[in-house]
Structure 1
Amino acid sequence: MYDRYATTRLIDLWLQEDIGYCDLTVQVMIEPEETGAFVMNAREPMVVSGIEVAAEVFRRYDPRCAVTVRVKDGDRVAAGQVLLDVGGPAQAILTAERTALNITQRLSGIATETARYVAEIAGTGARLLDTRKTTPGLRVLEKHATACGGALNHRLGLDNGVMIKDNHIAVCGSIAAAVRRARRTLPMLTKIEVECDSLEQVDEAVLAGADVIMLDNMPVPIMRRAVETVAGRIPLEASGGVRFDTIRAIAQTGVDYISTSKITQSAPAMDIGLDEADRAAA
Protein backbone atom coordinates (compact mmCIF):
# COMPACT_ATOMS: atom_id res chain seq x y z
CA MET A 1 0.00 0.00 0.00
CA TYR A 2 1.14 3.53 -0.66
CA ASP A 3 -0.18 6.99 0.09
CA ARG A 4 -1.57 8.86 -2.92
CA TYR A 5 -0.64 12.26 -1.50
CA ALA A 6 3.00 11.28 -1.05
CA THR A 7 3.05 9.70 -4.50
CA THR A 8 1.70 12.88 -6.10
CA ARG A 9 4.62 14.81 -4.64
CA LEU A 10 7.01 12.25 -6.14
CA ILE A 11 5.33 12.51 -9.54
CA ASP A 12 5.87 16.27 -9.54
CA LEU A 13 9.58 15.72 -8.91
CA TRP A 14 9.84 13.08 -11.64
CA LEU A 15 8.12 15.26 -14.20
CA GLN A 16 10.24 18.28 -13.32
CA GLU A 17 13.40 16.20 -13.60
CA ASP A 18 12.51 14.86 -17.04
CA ILE A 19 10.92 17.92 -18.62
CA GLY A 20 13.07 20.76 -17.38
CA TYR A 21 11.80 24.03 -18.89
CA CYS A 22 9.72 22.32 -21.59
CA ASP A 23 9.53 19.29 -23.86
CA LEU A 24 11.24 20.91 -26.80
CA THR A 25 10.46 18.07 -29.20
CA VAL A 26 6.68 18.23 -28.83
CA GLN A 27 6.70 22.02 -28.65
CA VAL A 28 8.28 22.34 -32.10
CA MET A 29 6.47 19.39 -33.72
CA ILE A 30 3.01 18.89 -32.18
CA GLU A 31 0.22 21.46 -32.33
CA PRO A 32 -1.63 22.19 -29.06
CA GLU A 33 -4.97 21.12 -30.49
CA GLU A 34 -3.76 17.74 -31.78
CA THR A 35 -4.95 14.65 -29.91
CA GLY A 36 -3.86 11.04 -29.72
CA ALA A 37 -4.86 7.64 -28.38
CA PHE A 38 -2.25 5.25 -27.04
CA VAL A 39 -1.98 1.96 -25.15
CA MET A 40 0.63 0.91 -22.61
CA ASN A 41 1.38 -2.75 -23.18
CA ALA A 42 3.53 -5.49 -21.72
CA ARG A 43 6.18 -6.70 -24.12
CA GLU A 44 7.11 -9.70 -21.98
CA PRO A 45 5.42 -11.77 -19.25
CA MET A 46 5.46 -10.02 -15.87
CA VAL A 47 3.80 -9.28 -12.56
CA VAL A 48 2.35 -5.79 -12.80
CA SER A 49 3.10 -3.09 -10.26
CA GLY A 50 2.78 0.68 -10.42
CA ILE A 51 0.08 0.85 -13.06
CA GLU A 52 -2.11 3.23 -11.05
CA VAL A 53 0.95 5.41 -10.46
CA ALA A 54 1.56 5.51 -14.21
CA ALA A 55 -2.05 6.53 -14.78
CA GLU A 56 -1.67 9.30 -12.24
CA VAL A 57 1.44 10.59 -14.02
CA PHE A 58 -0.64 11.34 -17.13
CA ARG A 59 -3.51 12.83 -15.12
CA ARG A 60 -1.17 14.91 -13.00
CA TYR A 61 0.62 16.41 -15.99
CA ASP A 62 -2.63 17.22 -17.78
CA PRO A 63 -6.06 16.50 -16.27
CA ARG A 64 -7.47 16.34 -19.79
CA CYS A 65 -5.72 12.98 -20.30
CA ALA A 66 -8.35 10.25 -20.16
CA VAL A 67 -6.80 7.10 -18.70
CA THR A 68 -8.41 3.68 -18.39
CA VAL A 69 -6.44 1.09 -16.40
CA ARG A 70 -6.95 -2.45 -17.74
CA VAL A 71 -5.15 -4.48 -15.07
CA LYS A 72 -4.41 -4.18 -11.38
CA ASP A 73 -1.19 -4.34 -9.41
CA GLY A 74 -0.26 -7.93 -8.63
CA ASP A 75 -1.75 -9.33 -11.85
CA ARG A 76 0.35 -11.74 -13.89
CA VAL A 77 0.15 -10.77 -17.54
CA ALA A 78 1.41 -12.22 -20.81
CA ALA A 79 3.36 -10.42 -23.52
CA GLY A 80 1.01 -8.23 -25.52
CA GLN A 81 -1.40 -7.54 -22.64
CA VAL A 82 -2.73 -3.97 -22.62
CA LEU A 83 -2.09 -2.38 -19.22
CA LEU A 84 -3.81 0.96 -19.77
CA ASP A 85 -5.30 3.21 -22.45
CA VAL A 86 -4.60 6.93 -22.54
CA GLY A 87 -6.14 9.51 -24.83
CA GLY A 88 -6.21 13.27 -25.01
CA PRO A 89 -3.83 16.11 -25.87
CA ALA A 90 -0.96 14.61 -27.84
CA GLN A 91 1.55 17.07 -26.40
CA ALA A 92 0.77 16.05 -22.84
CA ILE A 93 0.75 12.29 -23.48
CA LEU A 94 4.06 12.33 -25.33
CA THR A 95 5.69 14.54 -22.69
CA ALA A 96 4.62 12.38 -19.74
CA GLU A 97 5.18 9.06 -21.55
CA ARG A 98 8.70 8.28 -20.34
CA THR A 99 8.00 9.13 -16.71
CA ALA A 100 4.94 6.85 -16.69
CA LEU A 101 6.85 4.04 -18.36
CA ASN A 102 9.92 4.37 -16.13
CA ILE A 103 8.05 3.87 -12.88
CA THR A 104 5.92 1.00 -14.18
CA GLN A 105 8.93 -0.78 -15.67
CA ARG A 106 10.87 -0.41 -12.42
CA LEU A 107 8.09 -1.51 -10.07
CA SER A 108 6.93 -4.35 -12.32
CA GLY A 109 10.52 -5.57 -12.49
CA ILE A 110 10.67 -5.73 -8.70
CA ALA A 111 7.29 -7.47 -8.47
CA THR A 112 8.31 -10.01 -11.11
CA GLU A 113 11.67 -10.78 -9.48
CA THR A 114 10.00 -11.07 -6.09
CA ALA A 115 7.47 -13.55 -7.48
CA ARG A 116 10.36 -15.64 -8.83
CA TYR A 117 11.92 -15.83 -5.35
CA VAL A 118 8.56 -16.59 -3.72
CA ALA A 119 8.01 -19.48 -6.13
CA GLU A 120 11.47 -20.86 -5.36
CA ILE A 121 10.64 -21.34 -1.66
CA ALA A 122 7.08 -22.53 -2.15
CA GLY A 123 6.14 -25.40 0.13
CA THR A 124 8.89 -24.78 2.70
CA GLY A 125 6.81 -22.68 5.09
CA ALA A 126 9.25 -19.77 4.93
CA ARG A 127 8.04 -16.28 3.93
CA LEU A 128 10.05 -13.84 1.87
CA LEU A 129 10.79 -10.38 3.31
CA ASP A 130 12.12 -7.25 1.64
CA THR A 131 14.70 -4.91 3.19
CA ARG A 132 15.47 -1.18 3.53
CA LYS A 133 17.96 -1.45 0.65
CA THR A 134 15.79 0.49 -1.77
CA THR A 135 16.23 3.36 -4.21
CA PRO A 136 16.27 6.65 -2.24
CA GLY A 137 12.89 8.33 -2.57
CA LEU A 138 11.17 5.21 -3.90
CA ARG A 139 11.04 3.02 -0.80
CA VAL A 140 7.29 2.95 -0.26
CA LEU A 141 6.63 2.23 -3.93
CA GLU A 142 9.34 -0.42 -4.18
CA LYS A 143 8.04 -2.11 -1.05
CA HIS A 144 4.56 -1.95 -2.58
CA ALA A 145 6.06 -3.76 -5.58
CA THR A 146 7.56 -6.53 -3.43
CA ALA A 147 4.15 -7.03 -1.86
CA CYS A 148 2.64 -7.29 -5.36
CA GLY A 149 5.13 -10.10 -5.99
CA GLY A 150 4.11 -11.99 -2.85
CA ALA A 151 6.66 -10.85 -0.24
CA LEU A 152 5.99 -9.40 3.18
CA ASN A 153 7.30 -5.96 4.05
CA HIS A 154 10.00 -5.68 6.70
CA ARG A 155 10.52 -2.25 8.30
CA LEU A 156 9.43 0.65 6.11
CA GLY A 157 11.83 2.85 8.05
CA LEU A 158 13.83 3.11 11.23
CA ASP A 159 10.73 4.20 13.14
CA ASN A 160 8.86 0.96 12.41
CA GLY A 161 10.59 -1.33 14.88
CA VAL A 162 13.67 -1.97 17.00
CA MET A 163 16.47 -3.83 15.27
CA ILE A 164 19.38 -4.50 17.62
CA LYS A 165 22.56 -5.04 15.61
CA ASP A 166 26.19 -5.72 16.49
CA ASN A 167 27.11 -2.06 16.98
CA HIS A 168 24.15 -1.50 19.30
CA ILE A 169 25.21 -4.55 21.29
CA ALA A 170 28.80 -3.26 21.44
CA VAL A 171 27.66 0.06 22.92
CA CYS A 172 25.27 -1.55 25.41
CA GLY A 173 27.67 -4.30 26.47
CA SER A 174 25.54 -7.36 25.73
CA ILE A 175 22.37 -8.53 24.01
CA ALA A 176 20.59 -8.78 27.37
CA ALA A 177 21.51 -5.20 28.26
CA ALA A 178 20.47 -3.94 24.84
CA VAL A 179 17.06 -5.62 25.04
CA ARG A 180 16.51 -4.28 28.57
CA ARG A 181 17.25 -0.74 27.44
CA ALA A 182 14.90 -1.06 24.49
CA ARG A 183 12.06 -2.44 26.63
CA ARG A 184 12.14 0.53 29.02
CA THR A 185 10.37 2.96 26.68
CA LEU A 186 9.31 0.78 23.77
CA PRO A 187 5.74 1.39 22.47
CA MET A 188 3.52 -1.51 23.52
CA LEU A 189 2.82 -2.88 20.03
CA THR A 190 6.40 -2.57 18.74
CA LYS A 191 8.64 -5.62 18.36
CA ILE A 192 12.33 -6.07 19.09
CA GLU A 193 14.47 -8.03 16.64
CA VAL A 194 18.01 -9.05 17.55
CA GLU A 195 20.67 -9.77 14.94
CA CYS A 196 22.78 -12.82 15.84
CA ASP A 197 25.77 -14.27 14.04
CA SER A 198 26.49 -17.21 16.36
CA LEU A 199 24.59 -19.89 18.25
CA GLU A 200 25.78 -18.34 21.52
CA GLN A 201 24.13 -15.07 20.59
CA VAL A 202 20.95 -16.91 19.62
CA ASP A 203 20.80 -18.44 23.12
CA GLU A 204 21.35 -15.02 24.68
CA ALA A 205 18.65 -13.42 22.54
CA VAL A 206 16.14 -16.09 23.54
CA LEU A 207 16.88 -15.59 27.23
CA ALA A 208 16.72 -11.80 26.80
CA GLY A 209 13.16 -12.04 25.46
CA ALA A 210 13.66 -10.93 21.86
CA ASP A 211 10.50 -11.00 19.74
CA VAL A 212 12.33 -12.01 16.55
CA ILE A 213 15.87 -13.28 15.93
CA MET A 214 17.76 -12.56 12.73
CA LEU A 215 20.32 -15.20 11.78
CA ASP A 216 22.90 -13.03 10.07
CA ASN A 217 25.16 -14.59 7.41
CA MET A 218 25.06 -17.99 9.08
CA PRO A 219 26.07 -21.08 7.09
CA VAL A 220 23.13 -23.37 6.38
CA PRO A 221 24.24 -26.13 8.84
CA ILE A 222 24.56 -23.57 11.68
CA MET A 223 21.23 -22.06 10.73
CA ARG A 224 19.63 -25.50 10.97
CA ARG A 225 21.06 -25.93 14.47
CA ALA A 226 19.67 -22.53 15.46
CA VAL A 227 16.22 -23.64 14.31
CA GLU A 228 16.52 -26.78 16.42
CA THR A 229 17.71 -24.78 19.45
CA VAL A 230 14.93 -22.20 19.30
CA ALA A 231 12.35 -24.93 18.62
CA GLY A 232 9.61 -22.56 17.53
CA ARG A 233 9.70 -20.34 20.62
CA ILE A 234 10.65 -17.22 18.65
CA PRO A 235 10.31 -16.48 14.91
CA LEU A 236 13.61 -16.71 13.05
CA GLU A 237 14.64 -14.59 10.08
CA ALA A 238 17.56 -15.56 7.84
CA SER A 239 19.48 -12.74 6.20
CA GLY A 240 22.79 -12.27 4.42
CA GLY A 241 24.04 -14.22 1.43
CA VAL A 242 20.51 -14.78 0.20
CA ARG A 243 20.41 -15.16 -3.58
CA PHE A 244 18.18 -17.05 -5.94
CA ASP A 245 20.60 -19.99 -6.00
CA THR A 246 20.82 -20.17 -2.18
CA ILE A 247 17.34 -19.31 -0.98
CA ARG A 248 15.81 -22.79 -1.32
CA ALA A 249 18.45 -24.41 0.91
CA ILE A 250 18.02 -21.63 3.45
CA ALA A 251 14.25 -22.07 3.47
CA GLN A 252 14.63 -25.79 4.02
CA THR A 253 16.41 -25.19 7.35
CA GLY A 254 13.05 -24.36 8.89
CA VAL A 255 13.43 -20.59 9.36
CA ASP A 256 10.22 -18.58 9.39
CA TYR A 257 11.35 -15.65 7.26
CA ILE A 258 14.07 -14.91 4.71
CA SER A 259 15.03 -11.35 3.83
CA THR A 260 17.00 -10.30 0.77
CA SER A 261 17.89 -7.05 -0.96
CA LYS A 262 18.20 -8.82 -4.31
CA ILE A 263 14.50 -8.38 -5.07
CA THR A 264 14.86 -4.59 -4.99
CA GLN A 265 18.50 -3.92 -5.81
CA SER A 266 18.99 -6.45 -8.60
CA ALA A 267 15.58 -6.60 -10.27
CA PRO A 268 15.71 -5.85 -14.01
CA ALA A 269 13.19 -3.38 -15.44
CA MET A 270 10.38 -4.94 -17.43
CA ASP A 271 9.90 -4.19 -21.13
CA ILE A 272 6.76 -2.04 -21.38
CA GLY A 273 5.87 0.23 -24.28
CA LEU A 274 3.45 2.98 -25.22
CA ASP A 275 2.10 2.54 -28.73
CA GLU A 276 -0.46 4.31 -30.85
CA ALA A 277 -3.79 2.56 -30.23
CA ASP A 278 -4.55 1.86 -33.90
CA ARG A 279 -1.06 0.46 -34.57
CA ALA A 280 -1.15 -1.70 -31.41
CA ALA A 281 -4.48 -3.21 -32.45
CA ALA A 282 -3.31 -4.02 -35.97
Structure 2
Amino acid sequence: MSGRGELAELGDIDRIIAAALHEDLASGDMTSRLTVPALAPANGRIIAKQALSFCAGPVVVRTFEQVDPAVTVELCVGEGDRVKPGTELVRLAGLARSLLAGERTALNLLGRACAVATLTHAYVEAAGPTLRVVDTRKTMPGLRALDRYAVRMGGGHNHRNDLGAGLLIKENHIRCAGSVDAAVRAAREHASHAVRVECEVETLAEVRQAISAGADVLLLDNMDDQTLREAVEIARQQNDRVLLEVSGGITLARLPTLATIGLDLVSVGAITHSAPSVDMSLLFELP
Protein backbone atom coordinates (compact mmCIF):
# COMPACT_ATOMS: atom_id res chain seq x y z
CA MET A 1 0.00 0.00 0.00
CA SER A 2 1.81 3.10 -1.21
CA GLY A 3 -0.37 5.84 0.25
CA ARG A 4 0.25 8.02 -2.81
CA GLY A 5 -3.46 8.73 -3.17
CA GLU A 6 -3.41 10.97 -0.10
CA LEU A 7 -0.19 12.84 -0.90
CA ALA A 8 -2.00 15.48 -2.98
CA GLU A 9 -3.94 16.50 0.15
CA LEU A 10 -0.74 17.05 2.13
CA GLY A 11 0.50 20.09 0.26
CA ASP A 12 4.25 20.36 -0.35
CA ILE A 13 4.97 17.36 1.85
CA ASP A 14 8.15 16.44 -0.05
CA ARG A 15 9.70 19.76 0.94
CA ILE A 16 8.69 19.26 4.58
CA ILE A 17 10.16 15.76 4.65
CA ALA A 18 13.36 16.82 2.91
CA ALA A 19 13.89 19.62 5.44
CA ALA A 20 13.26 17.26 8.35
CA LEU A 21 15.65 14.64 6.97
CA HIS A 22 18.33 17.27 6.40
CA GLU A 23 17.89 18.44 9.98
CA ASP A 24 18.52 14.90 11.26
CA LEU A 25 21.05 13.65 8.72
CA ALA A 26 23.07 16.72 7.77
CA SER A 27 26.26 15.09 9.05
CA GLY A 28 25.20 11.49 8.46
CA ASP A 29 24.47 8.74 10.98
CA MET A 30 27.72 8.10 12.83
CA THR A 31 26.36 5.42 15.16
CA SER A 32 24.85 3.27 12.42
CA ARG A 33 27.92 3.69 10.20
CA LEU A 34 30.21 2.45 12.96
CA THR A 35 28.05 -0.33 14.42
CA VAL A 36 25.72 -1.70 11.71
CA PRO A 37 27.09 -3.67 8.72
CA ALA A 38 26.41 -1.80 5.48
CA LEU A 39 24.32 -4.58 3.92
CA ALA A 40 22.59 -5.85 7.06
CA PRO A 41 18.83 -6.25 6.42
CA ALA A 42 16.10 -5.55 8.96
CA ASN A 43 12.33 -5.52 9.32
CA GLY A 44 10.50 -2.93 11.39
CA ARG A 45 7.05 -2.47 12.84
CA ILE A 46 5.54 0.80 14.06
CA ILE A 47 3.23 -0.03 16.95
CA ALA A 48 0.58 2.15 18.61
CA LYS A 49 1.08 2.15 22.37
CA GLN A 50 -2.18 3.99 23.06
CA ALA A 51 -5.60 4.44 21.46
CA LEU A 52 -5.31 6.95 18.63
CA SER A 53 -6.60 8.11 15.25
CA PHE A 54 -4.14 6.98 12.59
CA CYS A 55 -3.05 9.68 10.18
CA ALA A 56 -0.27 10.43 7.68
CA GLY A 57 0.74 6.91 6.72
CA PRO A 58 1.62 8.28 3.24
CA VAL A 59 4.20 10.53 4.94
CA VAL A 60 5.98 7.47 6.29
CA VAL A 61 5.99 6.00 2.79
CA ARG A 62 7.44 9.15 1.28
CA THR A 63 10.02 9.61 4.05
CA PHE A 64 11.59 6.23 3.39
CA GLU A 65 11.37 6.74 -0.37
CA GLN A 66 13.58 9.80 0.11
CA VAL A 67 15.97 7.92 2.39
CA ASP A 68 16.21 4.75 0.30
CA PRO A 69 13.77 3.82 -2.47
CA ALA A 70 14.57 0.13 -1.87
CA VAL A 71 12.83 0.21 1.55
CA THR A 72 9.35 -1.30 1.38
CA VAL A 73 6.58 0.23 3.47
CA GLU A 74 3.23 -1.42 4.15
CA LEU A 75 0.47 0.58 5.83
CA CYS A 76 -1.58 -1.75 8.01
CA VAL A 77 -4.47 0.59 8.84
CA GLY A 78 -6.35 3.25 6.90
CA GLU A 79 -6.21 7.02 7.19
CA GLY A 80 -8.49 8.25 9.96
CA ASP A 81 -8.97 4.78 11.47
CA ARG A 82 -9.32 4.55 15.24
CA VAL A 83 -6.92 1.96 16.63
CA LYS A 84 -6.33 0.29 20.00
CA PRO A 85 -3.05 0.05 21.94
CA GLY A 86 -0.83 -2.64 20.47
CA THR A 87 -2.09 -2.19 16.90
CA GLU A 88 0.50 -2.66 14.19
CA LEU A 89 0.39 0.51 12.11
CA VAL A 90 3.23 0.16 9.59
CA ARG A 91 5.57 -2.61 8.43
CA LEU A 92 9.00 -1.79 7.02
CA ALA A 93 11.70 -3.87 5.33
CA GLY A 94 15.10 -2.88 3.94
CA LEU A 95 18.67 -2.19 4.93
CA ALA A 96 18.98 -1.63 8.67
CA ARG A 97 20.98 1.56 8.12
CA SER A 98 18.19 2.96 5.93
CA LEU A 99 15.51 2.17 8.49
CA LEU A 100 17.60 3.80 11.21
CA ALA A 101 18.23 6.87 9.06
CA GLY A 102 14.52 7.52 8.49
CA GLU A 103 13.19 6.33 11.84
CA ARG A 104 13.09 9.59 13.80
CA THR A 105 11.81 11.78 10.95
CA ALA A 106 9.07 9.29 10.11
CA LEU A 107 7.99 8.93 13.73
CA ASN A 108 8.10 12.70 14.36
CA LEU A 109 5.84 13.49 11.43
CA LEU A 110 3.55 10.50 11.94
CA GLY A 111 3.31 11.22 15.66
CA ARG A 112 2.46 14.88 15.09
CA ALA A 113 -0.27 14.05 12.59
CA CYS A 114 -1.76 11.29 14.75
CA ALA A 115 -1.74 13.60 17.77
CA VAL A 116 -3.72 16.29 15.94
CA ALA A 117 -6.12 13.74 14.43
CA THR A 118 -6.66 12.06 17.80
CA LEU A 119 -7.43 15.30 19.65
CA THR A 120 -9.64 16.52 16.80
CA HIS A 121 -11.61 13.27 16.97
CA ALA A 122 -12.25 13.84 20.68
CA TYR A 123 -13.61 17.35 20.01
CA VAL A 124 -15.76 16.15 17.11
CA GLU A 125 -17.26 13.38 19.25
CA ALA A 126 -18.02 15.84 22.06
CA ALA A 127 -19.57 18.38 19.69
CA GLY A 128 -21.98 15.90 18.16
CA PRO A 129 -23.43 15.89 14.64
CA THR A 130 -24.83 19.44 14.45
CA LEU A 131 -21.87 21.59 15.54
CA ARG A 132 -18.99 21.62 13.06
CA VAL A 133 -15.48 21.65 14.56
CA VAL A 134 -12.98 23.74 12.57
CA ASP A 135 -9.31 24.50 13.02
CA THR A 136 -7.46 27.82 13.15
CA ARG A 137 -4.15 29.14 11.84
CA LYS A 138 -2.52 28.23 15.17
CA THR A 139 -0.55 25.45 13.51
CA MET A 140 3.04 24.27 13.90
CA PRO A 141 5.17 26.64 11.77
CA GLY A 142 6.12 24.91 8.53
CA LEU A 143 3.68 22.05 9.14
CA ARG A 144 0.37 23.72 8.36
CA ALA A 145 -0.45 21.38 5.47
CA LEU A 146 0.17 18.35 7.68
CA ASP A 147 -1.82 19.80 10.61
CA ARG A 148 -4.80 20.71 8.42
CA TYR A 149 -4.79 17.28 6.82
CA ALA A 150 -4.72 15.68 10.28
CA VAL A 151 -7.71 17.76 11.36
CA ARG A 152 -9.69 16.39 8.42
CA MET A 153 -8.62 12.84 9.19
CA GLY A 154 -9.84 13.36 12.76
CA GLY A 155 -13.28 14.32 11.48
CA GLY A 156 -12.87 18.09 11.74
CA HIS A 157 -12.95 20.77 9.05
CA ASN A 158 -10.54 23.45 7.93
CA HIS A 159 -10.96 27.20 8.34
CA ARG A 160 -8.99 29.50 6.03
CA ASN A 161 -5.53 28.23 5.13
CA ASP A 162 -3.83 31.61 5.11
CA LEU A 163 -4.56 35.33 5.36
CA GLY A 164 -5.52 35.55 1.70
CA ALA A 165 -7.87 32.57 1.75
CA GLY A 166 -10.72 34.28 3.55
CA LEU A 167 -11.95 37.60 4.88
CA LEU A 168 -11.99 37.61 8.69
CA ILE A 169 -12.19 40.95 10.49
CA LYS A 170 -10.68 40.64 13.95
CA GLU A 171 -10.19 42.88 16.96
CA ASN A 172 -7.15 44.74 15.65
CA HIS A 173 -8.73 45.31 12.24
CA ILE A 174 -11.71 46.86 14.03
CA ARG A 175 -9.44 49.13 16.06
CA CYS A 176 -7.68 50.30 12.92
CA ALA A 177 -10.96 50.84 11.06
CA GLY A 178 -12.55 52.67 13.99
CA SER A 179 -15.56 50.43 14.62
CA VAL A 180 -17.24 47.15 13.75
CA ASP A 181 -19.61 49.02 11.46
CA ALA A 182 -16.81 50.77 9.57
CA ALA A 183 -14.74 47.61 9.17
CA VAL A 184 -17.60 45.47 7.89
CA ARG A 185 -18.91 48.14 5.51
CA ALA A 186 -15.43 48.67 4.05
CA ALA A 187 -14.97 44.94 3.53
CA ARG A 188 -18.45 44.60 2.06
CA GLU A 189 -17.79 47.46 -0.36
CA HIS A 190 -14.46 46.25 -1.69
CA ALA A 191 -14.63 42.44 -1.45
CA SER A 192 -15.71 40.26 -4.34
CA HIS A 193 -19.34 39.16 -4.33
CA ALA A 194 -18.04 35.58 -3.99
CA VAL A 195 -16.31 36.28 -0.66
CA ARG A 196 -18.02 35.89 2.69
CA VAL A 197 -17.36 38.68 5.16
CA GLU A 198 -16.73 37.31 8.65
CA CYS A 199 -16.39 39.57 11.68
CA GLU A 200 -15.25 38.82 15.20
CA VAL A 201 -17.57 40.27 17.86
CA GLU A 202 -17.25 40.29 21.63
CA THR A 203 -20.47 41.97 22.78
CA LEU A 204 -24.15 41.87 21.90
CA ALA A 205 -23.92 45.44 20.65
CA GLU A 206 -21.22 44.36 18.22
CA VAL A 207 -23.41 41.45 17.10
CA ARG A 208 -26.12 43.93 16.09
CA GLN A 209 -23.63 46.28 14.41
CA ALA A 210 -21.94 43.55 12.38
CA ILE A 211 -25.20 42.11 11.08
CA SER A 212 -26.59 45.55 10.23
CA ALA A 213 -23.38 46.37 8.33
CA GLY A 214 -23.72 43.22 6.20
CA ALA A 215 -21.54 40.54 7.80
CA ASP A 216 -22.17 37.03 6.47
CA VAL A 217 -20.50 35.21 9.38
CA LEU A 218 -20.05 36.21 13.01
CA LEU A 219 -17.17 34.94 15.12
CA LEU A 220 -18.58 35.05 18.66
CA ASP A 221 -15.41 35.36 20.73
CA ASN A 222 -15.00 34.59 24.43
CA MET A 223 -18.69 34.75 25.32
CA ASP A 224 -20.23 32.74 28.13
CA ASP A 225 -23.08 30.36 27.40
CA GLN A 226 -25.86 32.75 28.34
CA THR A 227 -24.43 35.56 26.22
CA LEU A 228 -24.10 33.12 23.33
CA ARG A 229 -27.79 32.23 23.63
CA GLU A 230 -28.70 35.92 23.47
CA ALA A 231 -26.36 36.45 20.51
CA VAL A 232 -27.98 33.57 18.63
CA GLU A 233 -31.45 34.99 19.31
CA ILE A 234 -30.43 38.45 18.07
CA ALA A 235 -28.79 37.04 14.97
CA ARG A 236 -31.76 34.85 14.06
CA GLN A 237 -34.08 37.83 14.42
CA GLN A 238 -31.92 40.21 12.36
CA ASN A 239 -30.76 37.80 9.65
CA ASP A 240 -31.33 34.08 10.02
CA ARG A 241 -28.88 33.34 7.19
CA VAL A 242 -25.86 34.59 9.12
CA LEU A 243 -23.50 31.79 10.10
CA LEU A 244 -22.48 31.74 13.73
CA GLU A 245 -19.04 30.59 14.81
CA VAL A 246 -17.88 30.45 18.42
CA SER A 247 -14.31 30.56 19.70
CA GLY A 248 -12.43 31.16 22.92
CA GLY A 249 -12.67 29.13 26.10
CA ILE A 250 -13.65 25.99 24.19
CA THR A 251 -13.20 22.80 26.20
CA LEU A 252 -14.31 19.22 25.65
CA ALA A 253 -16.61 19.48 28.68
CA ARG A 254 -18.30 22.59 27.29
CA LEU A 255 -18.98 21.31 23.78
CA PRO A 256 -22.20 19.33 24.49
CA THR A 257 -23.76 22.52 25.90
CA LEU A 258 -22.56 24.62 22.95
CA ALA A 259 -24.15 22.10 20.60
CA THR A 260 -27.59 22.94 22.05
CA ILE A 261 -27.36 26.72 21.63
CA GLY A 262 -27.93 26.97 17.88
CA LEU A 263 -24.40 27.68 16.69
CA ASP A 264 -23.04 26.51 13.35
CA LEU A 265 -19.29 26.27 13.90
CA VAL A 266 -16.82 26.01 16.75
CA SER A 267 -13.21 26.95 16.01
CA VAL A 268 -10.65 25.33 18.29
CA GLY A 269 -7.02 26.39 18.30
CA ALA A 270 -6.15 23.67 20.80
CA ILE A 271 -6.52 20.85 18.28
CA THR A 272 -3.37 22.05 16.55
CA HIS A 273 -1.47 24.17 19.08
CA SER A 274 -1.92 21.88 22.07
CA ALA A 275 -2.24 18.35 20.70
CA PRO A 276 -0.38 16.07 23.15
CA SER A 277 2.16 13.62 21.77
CA VAL A 278 0.90 10.13 21.03
CA ASP A 279 2.84 7.08 22.16
CA MET A 280 4.17 4.83 19.38
CA SER A 281 7.41 3.03 18.68
CA LEU A 282 9.37 1.44 15.84
CA LEU A 283 10.57 -2.06 16.77
CA PHE A 284 13.22 -3.85 14.70
CA GLU A 285 13.23 -7.54 13.87
CA LEU A 286 16.29 -9.08 12.22
CA PRO A 287 15.54 -11.61 9.45
Q: TM-score range by the shorter chain?
A: over 0.9
Please state if 1:89 is matched with 2:102. Answer: no
Residue of 11, 17, 20 corresponding to 2:26:
20
Q: CA deviation at 1:4?
A: 5.5
Given that residues 42 and 78 in structure 1 are in contact (C-alpha distance below 8 angstroms), is that contact kept between their aligned partners in structure 2?
Answer: yes
- What is the letter of the counterpart of residue 113 of structure 1? L
Give per-residue Cα distances to partners, 1:160-191, cap 9 Å, x unaligned: 10111122122222223222322344234322
1:144 to 133, 149, 154: 149
Q: Rate the CA distance shift 1:278–1:88 in 2: closer, same or farther, 3 A.
A: closer
Question: Among 108, 121, 139, which residue is 1:134 paired with?
Answer: 139
Paired amino acid for 1:214:
L
- The TM-score normalised by the length of structure 1 is 0.93
Structure 1: 5+ residue stretches without partners = none
CA offset at residue 79 of structure 1?
Answer: 1.7
Name the TM-score, length of structure 2 as normaliser: 0.91
How many correspondences in the alignment?
278
Aligned CA-pair RMSD: 1.7
Cα distance between partner residues in 1 of 2:127 and 2:15: 37
**Stretches of 4+ moved more than 3 A in 1?**
1-5
Partner of 1:217: 222
Distance 1:20 1:174 in 2: 52
Name 1:238's counterpart in structure 2. Answer: 246
The 2-side partners of 1:25 and 1:215 are apart by 54
* Aligned residues of 2:10 and 2:149 also touching (Cα < 8 A): no
Matches within 5 A, 1:1-282: 3=9, 6-123=12-129, 125-231=130-236, 232-277=240-285
Deviation at residue 277 of structure 1 after TM alignment = 4.5
The whole-number CA distance in structure 2 between the counterparts of 1:273 and 1:23 is 20
Q: Can you list the C-alpha shifts for 1:83-110, whole angstroms capped at 9, x where unaligned?
A: 1211111111111101101111111111
Gaps of 5+ in 2: 1-5
Identity between Structure 1 and Structure 2 (%): 37
8 Å contact kept, 1:251–1:258: no
Q: Report the residue type matching 2:273 in the other structure.
A: Q
